[in-house]
């Protein structure tokens, strides 16, 4: 199989080839690259090579900053192909329209999303507290009676509404824009969730009180957090147990796993637990 390094060996020096990041995400028809500073003068050549290797790619962008802000946006710059950062991503038989410069999205959790959705039982009420464009929420509607999806990013909420209609699941969703804590208070959600998804790894621990408030007995919570390799998974479990004790709840840890990396020796993890 021809690799990007094979295609570029006559266009980059040996030292430049060593710096080349050969793994990248494809979101819809957009390839999302990380270009080291030393290779910026060659980014156009690299991008065009990616398009030749991947015929389904019509746009190539590069990441130009870290994921930041409460709206979790990691900006990108178009370096080849069509002049757009908007696309339609297909995953597990669903379609999601999104704009990489306006919303947070990663295709790397496809297996994890499938795992969570597979656990849902008929008739559940599912809360997705940081729902983005609906990539967890919308597939949950297949078995759930109702999915309550919340996000603070107005663009993400707009796309989520469009995606709910695109996938013909609008009638099974309630979509709210705002901080999940304020939405839960304003709508008087309490003791009503059978399952809660907390996919905000950098800050999920700050919203455990919200999850405990809306959780019914035997509610299952999928809690995502970043953990260093040396603290897998004790720190995350301790955070959950300490919060449960503070809010007068008893819990049972059901399982835990890694589902990606943020940086060397820092992992995105999920801890599943039940509120007793």
Report the Cα 116 to chain-centroid distance in Å.
13
Residue 260 CA to residue 112 CA, distance in Å, equals: 10
Name the CA radius of gyration of the chain, rounded: 20
When mean pLDDT is compared across 3-17, 59-73, 169-183, 245-259, the lowest value belongs to 59-73
Tokens of 117: 């959705």
Helix (H, G, I), strand (E, B) or coil at 104: coil
CB atoms within 10 A of CB 100: 25
In this model, does residue 66 exceed pLDDT 80?
Answer: no
- pLDDT reported for residue 184: 98
- Please give the model's pTM, rounded to 2 decimal places: 0.94
Q: How confident is the model at residue 69 (pLDDT cuts 50, 70, 90)?
A: confident
Q: How confident is the model at residue 242 (pLDDT cuts 50, 70, 90)?
A: very high
Q: Are 45 and 76 in contact (CB under 8 A)?
A: no
Q: How confident is the model at residue 220 (pLDDT cuts 50, 70, 90)?
A: very high
Residue 212 CA to residue 204 CA, distance in Å, equals: 13
For the stretch 186-207, pLDDT in tens is: 999 999 999 999 999 999 999 9
In this model, does residue 70 exceed pLDDT 80?
Answer: no
Residue 258: phi and psi, rounded to 5, are -90, 150
Q: How confident is the model at residue 74 (pLDDT cuts 50, 70, 90)?
A: confident
Q: How confident is the model at residue 21 (pLDDT cuts 50, 70, 90)?
A: very high
Mean residue pLDDT of the chain comes to 96
Question: Quick one: average pLDDT of 135-142?
Answer: 98
- pLDDT reported for residue 169: 98
- pLDDT reported for residue 175: 98
- pLDDT reported for residue 149: 98
Q: How confident is the model at residue 72 (pLDDT cuts 50, 70, 90)?
A: confident
Q: How confident is the model at residue 1 (pLDDT cuts 50, 70, 90)?
A: confident
Q: Percent of the chain scored above 90 by pLDDT? A: 93
Question: Quick one: average pLDDT of 12-30?
Answer: 95
Q: How confident is the model at residue 177 (pLDDT cuts 50, 70, 90)?
A: very high
In this model, does residue 215 exceed pLDDT 90?
Answer: yes
How is 171-190 classified by DSSP, letter by letter? GGEEEEES-HHHHHHHTT--
Residue 82 CA to residue 201 CA, distance in Å, equals: 32
Tokens of 236: 């995350």
- pLDDT reported for residue 111: 96
For the stretch 76-119, pLDDT in tens is: 999 999 999 999 999 999 999 999 999 999 999 999 999 999 99
Question: Quick one: average pLDDT of 227-238?
Answer: 95
């Amino acid at each position: 199989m021809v690799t990007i390094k094979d295609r570029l060996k006559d266009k980059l020096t040996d030292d430049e080839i060593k710096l080349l990041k050969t793994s990248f995400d494809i979101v819809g028809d957009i390839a999302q690259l990380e270009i080291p500073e030393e290779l910026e003068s060659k980014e156009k050549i690299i991008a065009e090579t990616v398009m030749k290797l991947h015929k389904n790619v019509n746009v190539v962008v590069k990441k130009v900053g870290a994921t930041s802000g409460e709206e979790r946006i990691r900006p990108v710059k178009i370096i080849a192909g069509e002049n757009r950062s908007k696309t339609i991503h297909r995953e597990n038989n669903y379609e999601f329209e999104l704009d990489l410069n306006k919303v947070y999205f990663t295709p790397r959790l496809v297996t994890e999303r499938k795992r969570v959705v597979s656990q849902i039982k008929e008739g559940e009420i599912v809360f997705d507290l940081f729902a983005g464009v609906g990539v967890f929420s919308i597939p949950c509607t297949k078995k759930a009676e109702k999915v309550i999806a919340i996000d603070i990013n107005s663009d993400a909420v707009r796309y989520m509404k469009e995606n709910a209609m695109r996938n013909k699941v609008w009638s099974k969703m309630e979509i709210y824009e705002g901080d999940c804590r304020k939405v839960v208070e304003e709508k008087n959600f309490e003791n009503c969730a059978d399952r809660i998804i907390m996919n905000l790894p950098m800050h999920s621990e700050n919203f455990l009180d919200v999850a405990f408030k809306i959780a019914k007995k035997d509610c299952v919570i999928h809690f995502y957090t970043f953990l260093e390799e040396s603290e897998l998974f004790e720190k995350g479990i301790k955070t959950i147990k300490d919060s449960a004790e503070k809010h007068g709840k008893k819990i049972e840890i059901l399982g835990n796993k890694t589902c990606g990396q943020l940086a060397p020796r820092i992992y995105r993890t999920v801890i599943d637990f039940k509120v007793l």
